Amino acid sequence: MRIIDVFKNLFFVGLMVLFFSCFFDWYSFSMINSNGEMIMKWSYHLFFGWATPFSNSSVNNEYQPESSLFPISINVVLIGLIIFSVYIVVFKNIENITSEKNKIVYGYGIMALCILILYYISSFPWYLGELYYPAINIDDLESGSTFIYTIELGYILQVLAFPMIFAYTLYYLMTAIKFEKEESAPEKIVHDLVLNVQEELDFDKLIAKEELKFITHNKSKNK
């Protein structure tokens, strides 16, 4: 197996990891009281926003985060780019694409996915606002409870997916930008083109017509 095939497979695995990351929690914060019971928990999901298993708890409601972190439209774009990239990696091998324009479009398309992942990774801590990042346990000595702030599997998978995807993406884009097939019109095409523009001369027909004229002329002369 060639090295590029290894990275192509890694790219595909990265896309799968990225796809699954969208369906796991990205962040959670919870409170455990002095008895070791969890009395508050909020988890962030990319599509469903903040969710909690304690719906009717006043303590829980007190800590409810204000808003969703990422706009749903960006999440839809992410899913769209993942599907597009899967299509590219499965059906559009750069070594076989003949159209230069398509190659560049595909290259920029999958690079857009990389940039979007980087946006998610880097902006996530800022969207969290006052919530701690990446993970921390805070013990409240007065009440004896513990606050746990931590990034979850969804975000970790997103982080893991980036290097898996980046290498093949950059290779794809650089190849699309750097390499260009030298177009050469085959001899036959030029030959056909020449035939196409040339005015046809049917010598046999011309000779026959002229001979007929000659014969007719001679006959009429003899008469």
Partner 1 sequence: MSYENQDIKLKNLIQVCKETHNYKKIAVVGFILIGNRLNEIGIKLGTRKKSGETLVEYMERINHVFQQNLGILIFKDYFIETLSECEPLFLREQGNIPYEDIRTMYELYFELRRLDVPNLHRQIDENDLVGVSPYNFQSFLSPSSKRKHNNSSDTLKPLILQKIKEKQIALQKQSKERLNSSLLEEVISLKKVQNTLDNKNKQHKIKFEGTLKESIDYQQSIEKVVGYFILGMVILLFTLGMSITMKVVLYSEFFGSLSYWALLFVGGGAILLIVYFTYFIKRR
* The dihedral formed by the CA atoms of 165, 166, 167 and 168, expressed in degrees to the nearest 10: 50
Residue 12, interface with partner 1 (CB under 8 A)?
Answer: no
Least distance in Å: CB of 63 to partner 1? 17
H or E element: which one contains 44? strand 38-45
Q: Which residue in 7, 6, 195 sits closest to 110, CA to CA?
A: 7
**Contact with partner 1 (CB under 8 A) among 15, 31, 46, 94:** 94
Least distance in Å: CB of 56 to partner 1? 31
Note if the bond before 134 is cis, omega within 30 degrees.
yes
Tokens of 187: 């001899």
Residue 26, interface with partner 1 (CB under 8 A)?
Answer: no
CA 7 – CA 55 distance, rounded (Å): 45
Number of residues near partner 1 (by CB under 8 A):
54
Count of alpha carbons within 13 Å of 36, Cβ hemisphere only? 0
CA 220 – CA 128 distance, rounded (Å): 109
Q: Which residue in 26, 29, 129 sits closest to 75, CA to CA?
A: 26
Interaction pattern, residues 109-148, with partner 1; x per rule: CB under 8 A: ---------x--xx-xxx-----xxx-x------------
Interaction pattern, residues 47-76, with partner 1; x per rule: CB under 8 A: ------------------------------
Residue 178, interface with partner 1 (CB under 8 A)?
Answer: yes
Strands 25-32, 146-151: pairing kind: antiparallel
Smaller CB distance to partner 1: residue 48 or 214? 214
Interaction pattern, residues 150-169, with partner 1; x per rule: CB under 8 A: ---------x--xx-xxxx-
* The dihedral formed by the CA atoms of 72, 20, 157 and 26, expressed in degrees to the nearest 10: 40
List of residues contacting partner 1 (CB under 8 A): 2-4, 7, 94-96, 118, 121-122, 124-126, 132-134, 136, 159, 162-163, 165-168, 170-171, 174-175, 177-182, 184-185, 187, 189-190, 193-194, 197-199, 201, 203-204, 206-207, 210-211, 213-214, 217
